[in-house]
Amino acid sequence: MSERSTNLDFPATAIGRLGRGAFSATLSMQDFAFCDSMGLEPLDLVEGYCVMTKRAPLYSGRPLGVPAPYAARGTRLPSALDTAYTKTYRCPHRTFGLRGDHPAFGRNAEQVFLSTSWRRGFDLAYRRMVAQAQHAGAHGVIGIVDGQQPFGDLPATEFRIVGTAVRITDAPIPTGRPWTTYLAGQRLAKVIEMGFMPVSVVVQRTWIAVWASCMTAYLMEGANIRRGPYDESVLEAEQVSDARMAATRIATRRLKEQLGSDSLFGVTVETTEEELHSGNRLFGTALSGTRLRRFAKPSEVDAPTPVMWLR
Amino acid sequence: MSMIEHSPDDLRQRVLDGNHAVRHPDPHQSGSAVVSGLTTDELLLLHSIDWEPVELVSGACTVGFRIGTWSPFAAGNTSHPSGSLTEALARSVQRLERACLDVGAFGVVAVTTDLDIQERYASVQLTGTAVRPQRPGRRPEAAFSTNLSTKEFVVLQRGGWAPRSVAFGACFVRIRRRSFGDALSQMVRNVELANFTQALAAARADTMNKVRERGQGIGGGVVQVSISDGRLPFARHVVSFVACGTIIQPSPRELLQFNARMAVDLRDREPSFQATSLRGPRAHEPTKRSGISGSGSTWGMSIRTRLRSAMRPTNYEE
**Tens of pLDDT along A176-185?**
889 999 998 8
With CA atoms as reference, the chain B residue closest to A259 would be B33
Smallest Cα distance from A213 to chain B, Å: 14
β-partners of residue B33 are: none
Residue B48 forms contact with A (CB below 8 Å): yes
Q: Which of A212-216, A284-288, B73-77, B284-288 has the lowest mean pLDDT?
A: B284-288
- Closest CA relative to residue B226, chosen from B162, B303, B170, B295: B170
Smallest Cα distance from B97 to chain A, Å: 13
What's the CA angle centered on B1, arms B301 and B296, to 5 degrees?
15
Residue A281 forms contact with B (CB below 8 Å): no
* Cβ pair B80:A38 closer than 8 A: no
Smallest Cα distance from A285 to chain B, Å: 11
How far apart CA B305 and CA B292 sit, in angstroms, is 8
Mean pLDDT of chain B: 78
Are B65 and B80 within 8 A, CB to CB?
Answer: yes
- Write the DSSP assignment of chain B as a string of letters: -------HHHHHHHHHHHHHHHHS--TT-----EE-S--HHHHHHHHHTTEEEEEEEEEEEEEEPBTTTT-TTS-S--HHHHHHHHHHHHHHHHHHHHHHHHTT-SEEEEEEEEEEE-SSEEEEEEEEEEEEESS--SPPSS-EE--S-HHHHHHHHHTTEEEEEEEEEEEEEE-PPPPHHHHHHTSSS----HHHHHHHHHHHHHHHHHHHHHHHHHTSEEEEEEEEEEEETTEEEEEEEEEEEEEEEE-SS------PEEEE--S--S-SS-GGGSSSTTTTSPPPP-S--S---HHHHHHHHHHHHHH--TT---
Q: Which pLDDT belongs to residue A224? A: 63
How confident is residue A306, by pLDDT bands cut at 50, 70 and 90?
A: low
Q: Which pLDDT belongs to residue B140? A: 84
Residue A259 has pLDDT above 80, yes or no: yes
Please give the sequence-ordered ranges of beta strands (E in DSSP) within A91-187, or none if there are none. Answer: 105-110, 140-150, 156-168, 179-180
Residue B266 forms contact with A (CB below 8 Å): no
Under DSSP, is residue A245 helix (H, G, I), strand (E, B) or coil?
helix
Smallest Cα distance from B57 to chain A, Å: 7
Which chain A residues are within 8 Å of B75, Cβ to Cβ?
Answer: none
Residue B76 forms contact with A (CB below 8 Å): no
HSE-CB of A6 using CA atoms within 13 angstroms: 12
Which chain B residues are within 8 Å of A253, Cβ to Cβ?
Answer: none
How confident is residue A64, by pLDDT bands cut at 50, 70 and 90?
A: very low
Pairing of strands B107-117, B144-145: parallel
Smallest Cα distance from B202 to chain A, Å: 21
Which chain B residues are within 8 Å of A301, Cβ to Cβ?
Answer: 2, 4, 44, 47-48
Residue A231 has pLDDT above 60, yes or no: no
Residue B229 forms contact with A (CB below 8 Å): no
Mutation target among A141, A201, A210, A261 for the B interface, most CBs of B within 10 A: A261
How far apart CA A122 and CA A105 sit, in angstroms, is 35
Q: Give the nearest partner residue to B120 out of A196, A222, A296, using CB atoms.
A: A222
* Cβ pair A265:B44 closer than 8 A: no
Residue B111 has pLDDT above 90, yes or no: yes
Q: Give the nearest partner residue to B260 out of A225, A255, A307, using CB atoms.
A: A307
* Cβ pair A234:B84 closer than 8 A: yes
Residue B296 has pLDDT above 60, yes or no: no
If one counts every other C-beta atom within 10 angstroms of the C-beta of residue A74, the result is: 7
* Cβ pair A39:B264 closer than 8 A: no
Binding-face residues of A in 121-160 toward B, CB within 8 A? 139-140
Q: Which pLDDT belongs to residue B2? A: 44
Percent with pLDDT over 70 in chain B: 75
Question: Counting one residue from A and one from B, how many pairs have CB atoms under 8 Å apart?
Answer: 250
How confident is residue B317, by pLDDT bands cut at 50, 70 and 90?
A: very low
With CA atoms as reference, the chain A residue closest to B261 would be A307
**Kind and range of the H or E run holding A258:** helix A238-259
Residue B7 has pLDDT above 70, yes or no: no
Residue B98 forms contact with A (CB below 8 Å): no
For the sheet with B161-174, list strands across it: B161-174, B235-250, B221-232
Percent with pLDDT over 90 in chain A: 29
* Cβ pair A256:B33 closer than 8 A: yes
Q: Which pLDDT belongs to residue B179? A: 78
Which chain A residues are within 8 Å of B125, Cβ to Cβ?
Answer: 244, 248, 271
Task: Compare B209 and B256 and report the one with higher pLDDT.
Answer: B209
Smallest Cα distance from A72 to chain B, Å: 33
Q: Which of A131-140, B67-76, B168-177 has the lowest mean pLDDT?
A: B67-76
With CA atoms as reference, the chain B residue closest to A139 would be B19
- Closest CA relative to residue A180, chosen from A155, A195, A163, A160: A163
Task: Compare B312 and A50 and report the one with higher pLDDT.
Answer: A50
Residue B297 forms contact with A (CB below 8 Å): no
Residue A69 forms contact with B (CB below 8 Å): no
Interaxial angle between packed helices B79-102 and A238-259, expressed in degrees from 0 to 180 and rounded to the nearest 10: 30
Pairing of strands B261-264, A307-310: parallel
Highest mean pLDDT among A12-16, B172-176, B261-265: B172-176
Q: Which of A70-74, A104-108, B66-70 has the lowest mean pLDDT?
A: A70-74
Mean pLDDT of chain A: 80
Q: Which pLDDT belongs to residue A73? A: 59
Looking at residues B39-63, what average pLDDT do you find?
Answer: 90
Residue B238 has pLDDT above 60, yes or no: yes
pLDDT digits (tens, 9 = 90+) for B175-202: 777 778 878 887 777 888 877 788 888 8
pLDDT digits (tens, 9 = 90+) for B52-101: 999 999 999 999 888 778 887 765 567 888 888 999 999 999 999 999 99
Q: Which of A73-82, B133-142, B186-195 has the lowest mean pLDDT?
A: A73-82
Residue A87 forms contact with B (CB below 8 Å): no
Smallest Cα distance from B307 to chain A, Å: 8
Task: Compare B105 and B179 and report the one with higher pLDDT.
Answer: B105
Looking at residues A51-75, what average pLDDT do you find?
Answer: 59
How far apart CA A165 and CA A1 sit, in angstroms, is 18
How confident is residue A92, by pLDDT bands cut at 50, 70 and 90?
A: confident
Q: Which of A16-25, B22-31, B203-212 has the lowest mean pLDDT?
A: A16-25
Residue A225 forms contact with B (CB below 8 Å): yes
Residue B11 forms contact with A (CB below 8 Å): yes
Which ipTM was obtained for this model? 0.81
* Cβ pair A304:B158 closer than 8 A: yes
Q: Which of A171-175, A235-239, A258-262, B262-266 has the lowest mean pLDDT?
A: B262-266
How far apart CA B294 and CA B269 sit, in angstroms, is 11
Are A292 and B36 within 8 A, CB to CB?
Answer: no
What's the CA angle centered on A61, arms A60 and A63, to 5 degrees?
135
If one counts every other C-beta atom within 10 angstroms of the C-beta of residue A297, the result is: 8
Which chain A residues are within 8 Å of B59, Cβ to Cβ?
Answer: 245
